Amino acid sequence: MAKLWTSQEIASATGGAATAPFAVSGVAFDSREVTQGDLFVAMKGETTDGHRFVDKAFAQGAAGAVVSEAVDYPHVLVPDSAAALEALGRASRARMAGKVVGVTGSVGKTGTKEALFQALDRNHPGQVHRSVKSYNNHVGVPLSLSRMPRDAAFGVFEMGMNHAGELAALTRQVRPHVAIVTAIAPAHIEFFGTEAAIAEAKAEIFEGLEPGGTAIIPYDSPHIAILYEKAEKHAAHILTFGFGEEADVRVRESVPASGGGTLVTAVLPHAELCFTVAAPGEHWVSNALAVLAAVEALGGDLAAAGLALAEMPGLPGRGERRIVPVAGGEALLIDESYNANPLSMAVTLKQLGREKAARRIAVLGGMRELGSRSAELHAGLAEPLAAGQVDYAILVGQEMTPLADALGKAFPFAHVPDTAAATDLLQSEMRAGDAILVKGSNGIGLSRLVAALEETALNGEGN
């Protein structure tokens, strides 16, 4: 395996002391994710202490560790393991000579990051690094940075936040050449009060731009002025993307494609491109425009990016489409179980309305971190439900009570207390030809419902 870090490099980056020479090929701070040759970073948290799992990490193949307490294995001893991980991430970014992209936004971060990775990797196979899963916070970003190969041509990093100032700190670690804001929505509004304040916080990503860097912002956002004003202070170039005629990267024409995607003709500052977006929905067209804007800013291959967008599969929990067996045939399951906010709920329900199906069923879990506006924003889903031509809804959890009240008796739905009840009800209700959308905040646990249906499919069962 390729050498990522030596013990001496780790000690130099972190200011620690190495007890023995070793080399590692990867980095992990969760002992369950350690693989052969990894560096295990033992961090102390509020509820646990990574030092308790050092034995397990080395049993799974760790080649060394970063610790703040001496252990009986090759290690680098530091005063604070979390600070050491951040320092290692900064050192990784400093030695990387390629181009770096940072991605943030209220919705679409992970999908856009993955799509951009696919677009760049198509022309530079094996030379593009990106953050895995949704590792986008104060520990996920330095972990993703520290894992970046020293000879990477590109790095693509997702950055998230739920308080002001968090993105400013993360973007100064990532130091992107290109910074993307996908969209602004009332996600985490509990901590901000207004969408405008969320836009201000998301715009912090531009503070870390490298000299000569490019800011990419959503033209159609009602908060474009906030984003643009911030970008002007830090970016040498600004590209807007969207459906509006004045956007720098915009849709000239779009029509539905076979398989649920969209055939798009896009206009860019120096090109026009016709391509297919495999993932269904207008939100994915918007994500694709942001990807093309980034490829344009990086001087990449737009045609290769178009091919990547046409072949990109859905992501688990973020739009993955699965066929599940039911009595007499099959049903389509659309897995959006990872996250939800009012904007993403509206766009996915709109897309559900476009699915050709005998019935459209929406399984909706509560949206978290909406603060004092929670009841209002949940009740507001009544209109998107109707617009999405949903035939039946299963509402999951206490947060959905305002929506249940708003729907009243005019709309066919059931309101259940938890995911287990929703699973039982859906399995009894599903019929051949149904299109079923499953969406809610991750904490609701609707991924367990999806897993249960997948298990049924693997066992070849139907109701």
Q: In the block, which residue shows the tokens 């693997």? A: 458
> Does 442 score more than 80 pLDDT?
yes
pLDDT at 80: 96
Asked if residue 282 and residue 234 are part of one domain, the reply reads yes
- pLDDT interval class at 457 (50, 70, 90): low
Asked if residue 115 and residue 63 are part of one domain, the reply reads no
pLDDT at 1: 61
Q: Which residues contact 25 (CB under 8 A, 6 or more apart)?
A: 1, 2, 3, 4, 36, 37, 38, 63
Calpha distance 136→158 (Å, rounded): 5
Three-state DSSP at 159 gives coil
Task: Decide if 463 is inside a domain.
Answer: no
Asked if residue 196 and residue 292 are part of one domain, the reply reads yes
CATH number of the domain that residue 14 is part of: 3.40.1390.10
pLDDT at 409: 84
CATH number of the domain that residue 412 is part of: 3.90.190.20
> Does 288 score more than 70 pLDDT?
yes
Domain edge (last residue) among 311, 334, 366: 311
- The CA dihedral of 304, 305, 306, 308, to the nearest 10 degrees, is 90
Determine the Cα angle at 111 with ends 94 and 175, to 5°. Answer: 20
* Residue (of 328, 330, 357) closest to 453 by Cα position: 330
Domain of 273 in residue numbering reads as: 96-311
Asked if residue 111 and residue 213 are part of one domain, the reply reads yes
Asked if residue 366 and residue 307 are part of one domain, the reply reads no
Q: In the block, which residue shows the tokens 């599969």? A: 313
DSSP 154: E
- pLDDT interval class at 459 (50, 70, 90): low
Asked if residue 444 and residue 398 are part of one domain, the reply reads yes
Calpha distance 320→104 (Å, rounded): 21
* Residue (of 414, 425, 412, 437) closest to 463 by Cα position: 425
DSSP 273: E
Asked if residue 254 and residue 123 are part of one domain, the reply reads yes
Q: What are phi and psi of 442, to 5 degrees?
A: -55, -35
Determine the Cα angle at 86 with ends 80 and 88, to 5°. Answer: 100
- pLDDT interval class at 380 (50, 70, 90): very high
Calpha distance 278→114 (Å, rounded): 13
Q: Are 118 and 312 in contact (CB under 8 A)?
A: yes
Task: Decide if 351 is inside a domain.
Answer: yes
> Does 190 score more than 80 pLDDT?
no
Task: Decide if 130 is inside a domain.
Answer: yes
> Does 21 score more than 80 pLDDT?
yes
- pLDDT interval class at 279 (50, 70, 90): confident
Domain edge (last residue) among 279, 294, 311: 311
Write the DSSP assignment of 219-248 as a string of letters: TT-TTHHHHHHHHHHH-SEEEEEESSTT-S
Strands (E), 99-236: 99-104, 128-130, 154-158, 178-181, 214-218
Task: Decide if 90 is inside a domain.
Answer: no
Encode burial over 27-48: b for 16+ CB neighbours within 10 A, e otherwise. bbbebebbeebbbbbbbeeeee
Task: Decide if 89 is inside a domain.
Answer: no
Task: Decide if 84 is inside a domain.
Answer: no
- Cα distance from N-terminal residue to C-terminal residue, the chain: 47
CATH number of the domain that residue 295 is part of: 3.40.1190.10
Asked if residue 264 and residue 182 are part of one domain, the reply reads yes
Task: Decide if 164 is inside a domain.
Answer: yes
Q: Of 134 and 41, which is predicted with more confidence?
A: 41
pLDDT digits 0-9 by tens, 117-155: 999 999 999 999 999 877 899 999 999 999 999 999 999
> Which amino acid does the sequence have at 282?
E
> Does 188 score more than 90 pLDDT?
no
Asked if residue 127 and residue 52 are part of one domain, the reply reads no
Task: Decide if 85 is inside a domain.
Answer: no
Asked if residue 103 and residue 59 are part of one domain, the reply reads no
Q: Looking at 125-129, 176-180, 342-346, which range is the least confident one?
A: 342-346
Asked if residue 182 and residue 117 are part of one domain, the reply reads yes
Number of domains in the chain: 3
pLDDT digits 0-9 by tens, 199-240: 999 999 999 999 999 999 999 999 999 999 999 999 999 999
Domain edge (last residue) among 276, 293, 311: 311
Asked if residue 295 and residue 152 are part of one domain, the reply reads yes
Calpha distance 145→226 (Å, rounded): 29
